[in-house]
Amino acid sequence: MDGFATTTPTTPSRSTTEHPAAAYFRALRSREFSRLARARQAYLDYTGSGLYGSSQLEWHRDWLSERILGNPHSENPASLATTAEVDRVTERVFRFFNADPAEYDLVFTANASAAIKLVGEAFPFRDDSRFVLATDNHNSIGGIREYARRSGAEIRFLPLTPDLRLDDPMAHVGEAGAGPSLLAFPAQSNFSGVKHPLDLVAAGRERGFQVFLDTAAYVPTNPLDLGAVGPDFACVSFYKMFGYPTGLGALLARREALAILERPWYAGGTVDFVSIQNDVHQLRNAGGAFEDGTPDFLGIAGVEPGLDLLEEVGMPRLRDWVAFLTELLLEGLQGLRRVDGKPGVAIYGPGTTDSRGATVAFNLLDGLGRPIPYETVEAAAGEAGVSIRGGCFCNPGAAEVAFDMPPRETLDCLERLGEDFTLPRFRDCLGGKVPVGAVRASLGIASSPRDIERLVEVLEALLED
């Protein structure tokens, strides 16, 4: 089966090596995430959601208890206090990502998907436009193709190599169309953890594209300098960054890029005026035209202690720590063997930490080398108090390449199942030839080597059954 690494590691084992930051992160876990020890939980689903630190909740509780805050769309004292807080957090987010407020605008949204939808529905695709996107993309980016399709735009996918990296992307991007064109890709794959080349942003812009960089899986453990990378649009999800508050994300966009968007509707908060009797309206300027309704102003205040925590840790130090842990995880998985001595795990994506983040998708293999259903592995991990994730992770493009799914048979099964579709039925329809789902373990700020050991112990026990 193509698309996965099963090689034995050639580098010396680091499982007994003390990382220079290990003591710091042990103390941090004890201070901020002690509930993990109390619950005897090993949390390995950071790509699904980050974990909040105790200090975040304490700060937000104390902050709220001393303030009177109201809907910001007014001039009363409570509203003005809220507006001032939203503006202050906005400036803080700009600083965190090194985004110049003169060049970028920020729109708070419900999540990263909502930020993506704002751009997708308003992008002025035409029949001479081109929409180019990586095969490896979250469904929310993939969904933009429905807007492009309605306008008759050309849609092209950037192919992946067997280890799920972009295959010579500069050669496949091509030139923008005569009409407004969009290039979209993730800074880091939520499926495989691959870090795609950020210089593709500049290359795409040089070729006439507006560029959407999905940073949702990247920024929780990596520093991002928007001033240096320079995408036209970028989305973030704050709960993926630091766990709390949920239901809050943001669109960071160049002001010049926002200016070309054509909003298909208006809502409360997005207009200077509306006249029903005269059938006219005027959208607010720049990012204000995209702030649909009342923002989550109490949640926005809770962003500040999350940024405080990440800045205290330091993004370079966090990146290096999870890279160390990722190497331990890969070594642990690659060291697993079936009873016949052959590899017990298929890893989808790179088998090393070279240009990859702390997200690892894999399947456990039975005695005949067939993937054990991910549901079985996820359930066994859950019984042992280990949180991992199973499925295709809202990234069908990467999954199809990783699993080497046969296009014709896949389409036949999808059409046959229709409304009766479930992953187990889909697996049966394909005759068990392909995995149809995987297990994903992802690391973050509170992860420890012992969490990885607990997962490996679960997998070893399954291989022995």
Catalytic residue set: 394
SS3 191: coil
What is the three-class DSSP state of 350? coil
Other Cβ atoms within 10 Å of 75 Cβ, number:
7
**C-alpha span between 323 and 357 (Å, rounded):** 7
CA distance 371 to 394: 20
Beta bridge partners of 389: 440
Q: CA triplet 286, 292, 296: central angle to 5 degrees?
A: 110
Check: CB of residue 152 under 8 Å from CB of residue 127: yes
User: Given the structure tokens 């809907």, which residue do they identify?
Assistant: 71
Q: How far apart are CA 139 and CA 160, in angstroms?
A: 16
The gap from C-alpha 263 to its chain's centroid, in whole angstroms, comes to: 25
**At 63, phi and psi to the nearest 5?**
-65, -45
By three-state DSSP, how is residue 164 classified? coil
Coil, helix or strand for 357?
coil
At 20, is the secondary structure helix, strand, or coil? Answer: coil
**CA gyration radius, the chain:** 23
Backbone dihedral region of 31: left (phi > 0), alpha (psi from -120 to 50 degrees) or beta? alpha
3-class secondary-structure state, position 27: helix
Q: How far is residue 348's CA from residue 4's CA, in Å, rounded to a whole number? A: 4
Location of structure tokens 């991007």: 173
**How far apart are the C-alpha atoms of 221 and 358, rounded to whole Å?**
8
Question: Exposed e or buried b for every residue in 330-366, given b needs 16+ CB within 10 A?
Answer: bbbbbbbebeeeebbbbbbbbbbbeebbbbbbbbbbb
